[in-house]
Amino acid sequence: MLERDEFELLQKHQDGELLPAEVQQVEALLSRSPEARMAAAALRSLDANEDAGLVDRGTEMAVSEIMARVQAMPHPRPQGWMALVRTRVARAMGESVDAFAGPEPRGEESMATRSKIVWGISAAAVVILAGLWITGVVPPKQEGADATIGAAKRYQAPQIAAKDVKLGDTQAQAFMQSETFDRILKDPSTRKLLASAEMRSLLADAELSSALKDPKFALALQRIAGDANLAKIFADAEFADALAGSRVADAFSQAEMRGALADNLVADALHQADLRGALADPALQVAFADANLVAALGKSGVQQALQSTEFRDALANGKFEAALKDKYRGALADADLQAAMSRADIRGALADAEMQAALANGKVRAAFASLKFRDAMANAAARGGLTDAALMTSLADAALVSSLKGAAVSGALASSELSAALSSAGLRDKFADAQLQSALASSELRAQLADASFVAAMQSQAMQGALKDSRFTSALSDASFAGRLQ
């Protein structure tokens, strides 16, 4: 005899929801039980019928009719019940189909209706309904007509659409019976937060929910969402990818880095591909790290000489004819330039095409003359950020460069909320999450994230308990969960 829990195991097997430990149980059950093999075949047939569009409203009504007729018959003995019940249900099915499609064929329409009902309910009615009746899932007739019809309807919903019954549904229901859910209902800030469909969708992201276990991440999100320019920066996928690297994150913690980005001359130069290309070129990092060269490139005499193509060419090939030496005597006499030119690696960097393009660009030369730029190059951490290829790629977006210039953004990047989050490699990675970037691009979600109640909710015992509960993710997408929060 097929037990109720065995039948449920077969349903999970058909839906592909078996846990690893249950696979062997099903294999053993199918091996020893003819009834289990028949029920499994029936479930497969039911799925096939549903996928083929053979289950319709007439089928559902017929199932209820069959249930009433089956239950009017005497309850079969446990031994050999399957064959007996199959016969009885088949008889009841025939009577029901006649009732719905007519006892005699009346043209093509009647035949089509009869065929559709038979194909839609044969496997389910003969085996599955009978199995549920025998095992007590569907109550006996003496419990009353209401119980019978109710049970039939309860049966119909999951079996007619068996694929709708997922493991997640069970987990969601289990979560809603937990103490954690009870705490959520009693916590106003957490309940308000979870009442938002957009917020539930955000929290359903496994990476973000993991990060939000750390209060630092929630505080950082609140600070970011509170400023439109800052939100725009962190919503940029390329910037977020760059920020995931330790060099860029460390750079933004430096006042010199923030000062350079806020400088008008540097910001204007960053709009130029020539500067971004030079800064991102690994071969030129030695040049930008050389204090003598950076100092020389900012001096007025050298700046004036750099406007000349012949002077730049001479720097590239290292050959200054007597006439050129005389013409550019003032620039060549600069002690910093002489010290830089005495190094072979610096001469090689000056001959690089990227550097030559940068030196030929007036806006780039103006940035080289900026004290803020020179201060950033003198700071190893800030220089590491400004010469990061990923960051330079993101700064090709002029709007992003403009956003980084703002005083509010500079102050936010220096804030304890962001500094704490950016100092953690694990949390930095989460800023590159596509779901979060989408949220930061939404004014409605930003408003929720910027609200003080967001941090209060995320730090609450109720929410922290929920984030640590594996069933919480299933509950977030469950309609009844959302209904309970209203």
- Decide: pTM greater than 0.85: no
- On whether the CB atoms of residues 194 and 485 are closer than 8 A, the answer is yes
**Cβ within 8 Å of residue 407, ≥6 positions away:** 262
Short-list 191, 52, 264, 53, CA closest to 481? 191
Percentage helix, strand, coil for the chain under 3-state DSSP, each rounded to 5: 80, 0, 20
What is the CB neighbour count within 10 angstroms for residue 426?
Answer: 11
**Cα(51)–Cα(53) distance, integer angstroms:** 5
Tokens of 411: 């102050």
| Residue 74: per-residue pLDDT | 55
Cα-based distances in Å from 18 to 8, 9, 27, 97: 11, 8, 11, 35
| Residue 36: per-residue pLDDT | 76
Short-list 134, 132, 187, CA closest to 159? 132
**Cα(482)–Cα(466) distance, integer angstroms:** 15
**Cα(21)–Cα(255) distance, integer angstroms:** 56
**Cα(420)–Cα(427) distance, integer angstroms:** 9
- Tens of pLDDT along the chain (486 residues) come to 667 678 777 777 777 676 766 777 877 888 788 777 777 776 665 555 554 444 444 444 554 555 555 455 555 444 444 454 445 444 544 554 455 445 444 444 444 444 444 434 444 444 455 554 554 544 444 444 344 434 333 344 344 344 444 445 688 888 998 999 999 999 999 999 999 999 999 999 989 999 999 999 999 999 999 998 899 999 999 999 998 888 999 999 999 999 999 999 999 999 999 999 999 999 999 999 999 999 999 999 999 999 999 999 988 888 888 778 889 989 999 999 999 999 999 999 999 999 999 999 999 999 999 999 999 999 999 999 999 999 999 999 999 999 898 878 888 888 888 889 988 888 988 988 988 999 999 999 999 999 999 999 999 999 999 999 989 999 998 888 988 888
